[in-house]
A = this chain, B = another copy of it.
Amino acid sequence: MAFDATTLTFNEKGLIPVIAQDASSHEVLMMAWMNSEAVARTLATGKVTYWSRSRSAFWIKGESSGNTQELVELRLDCDRDCLLVLVNQTGPACHTNRRSCFYTAVQNGQEVELMSPE
């Protein structure tokens, strides 16, 4: 079946959550949002392109920082309301310069930092 980004299930703001996972290490790097056009642009260009909710603008990941995400594969879930992108991540994915945004764990009721800025 041909894929059509408009057949995904978007929320009331026209957005769908997107999980970015490192295609090699399988580390979960970040979660962000796309609208239908961002999904189409990501597939067309191979450059993972989100919708920035704070700036209300397309956000080609790494365009300003150089920390790009090259698309390896885009997957959708059973409900068509969440995406998983497997990526080749250049540099850190997180704006704090950590490899992943998920650098804080809860261990024995305490917040523990798992990784430092690169």
Q: Does A59 contact B (CB under 8 A)?
A: no
Among B2, B17, B73, point to the contact of A109 (Cβ < 8 A).
Answer: B2
Q: Give chain B nearest CB distance to A8 CB in angstroms.
A: 11
Q: Give chain B nearest CB distance to A104 CB in angstroms.
A: 5
CA distance A84 to B82 in the complex (A): 15
Residues of A with Cβ closer than 8 Å to B?
1-3, 17, 19, 21, 26-28, 30-31, 43, 73-79, 82, 84, 94-96, 98, 101-107, 109-111, 114
A2-B110, A77-B102 given; 19 more Cβ-contact pairs under 8 Å: A1-B111, A2-B111, A3-B110, A17-B17, A19-B19, A26-B26, A26-B27, A43-B109, A74-B106, A75-B104, A75-B106, A75-B114, A76-B106, A76-B111, A78-B95, A78-B101, A82-B101, A82-B102, A84-B102
